[in-house]
Amino acid sequence: MTRQPASRREWAKLTLSGAMATLFLACGMVCAAGEPAVRPPGWQADPKLLEELHKKNARGEYNEAAVPAYRLPDPLVCEDGSRVTTRQQWEQKRRDETLELFRRTVYGRRPERTGEMRFDVLAKDEKAMEGKATLKRVKITCTDGGRSFAFEASLLIPNGATGRVPAFVLINNREVKSADPTRQTKDPFWSAEEIIARGYAAAVFQTNDVDPDKPDEASRAKGVRGALTSAGKAGEDAWGTIAAWAWGASRIMDYLATDANIDASKVAIIGHSRGGKTALWAGAEDSRFSLVISNDSGCGGASLSRRHFGETIEIINRSFPHWFCGNFKQYGGHENDRPVDQHQLMALIAPQAVYVASADADFWADQRGEFLSLANASPVYALYGYTGLKLDEMPPLETPTIRDRMAYHIRRGGHGLTLYDWQQYLNFADRLWRTERP
């Protein structure tokens, strides 16, 4: 456990030199509890946007000076107090411990077995997107112990590609028209044309097709949680809806691994808001995703809950009691009692690539908390030889920062997934996968 700097002097230490900042990073430090006299470089909250929030009496805490002092669990310290110094120790011990803590206290446990998988291509259009892509509509069926569940996904593959192509999988938590596979309706939320133009495939599935986004038992019975048995105990660590959606993402990965057009070693999983929370958990549970992207995911996703800024655990569990496992509810108002925080969720994704993005006006998601969470995962990436983000280098608006397999940007505007966001993710993928644009 490491203490958060709480004084101007400690902030000065953070900015003395790159070497000193690296030292603080290795210790897992996070930003100060109060507004520092000398602000670190990079993004700063727009006072006008904050004033608008106060006028609206918006829920949540939006005063940076009110962020409490807190201690983050060190991602490299095991339950028995021993310290991880090698990737082997991380993979053989601490990673499993951390994954277990998230299953038990945050997202719950998915079924232990996948069961028998079946994939049926229900429809195929080789002239989709004005002839630029082939559209497949795929039914995915999972059967286990005499019980089965099926849902559909859509896949656009660029025509004229030579060999297998990488793919982006969007977890769509909005209406179908936000990510219309037929492209009769085009929305920046799913910039499929941009994806195809880069030479990548674009897959999408609807979260409600996997598990309805409603808390009542009747809705639960219609989704995968009603069809397949969780490995956890009801009311405690049985899987919540986010874990169910993440399960769906993994089943799509199962299909992509069988598609002769797809390079299954280069598949990105991306989600916005609740979909972003899902993408992070999917990436933690399933290391086959080579790139994990969180867009404005906030509480229960990328942001540090101990900052108690914007949406909190208490608020999110009251509004969406079905998203997480029952045990997560005990941490509402008691964030410091959590055995983990969200920087450890991103650490679980290592050594695969992770990209976190925020929006200037999206204080509900705690932009600074999202960045700090990503930066505090850097010590785990360092075990694999990758340079991570430093705590004092949150970039200015629309200035993406990339460090090996870690990237972050904050754009202008509010809560949403925009063309600008997609362009940055695709640029990162170009760099990560070393592909050439057609």
Mind telling me the catalytic residues?
Answer: 273, 415
Report the run of H or E that residue 270 belongs to, with start and end: strand 262-272
Angle at 44 between CA 43 and CA 50, to 5 degrees: 135
At a CB cut-off of 8 Å and minimum separation 6, what does 118 contact? 140, 141, 142, 143
What is the SS3 assignment for 17? coil
Report yes or no: 266 and 426 within 8 Å, Cβ to Cβ: no
Report yes or no: 386 and 351 within 8 Å, Cβ to Cβ: yes
Give the pair of three-digit tokens for residue 215: 């808390």
Report the run of H or E that residue 206 belongs to, with start and end: strand 201-206
Query: Rounded to whole angstroms, how far apart are CA atoms 373 and 49?
Result: 23
Name the nearest CA neighbour of 360 among 100, 52, 19.
Answer: 52
Phi, psi torsion values for 344, nearest 5 degrees? -75, -25
Q: 69 vs 51, 72, 205, 290, 368, CA distance in Å?
A: 24, 10, 40, 35, 15
Report yes or no: 367 and 359 within 8 Å, Cβ to Cβ: yes
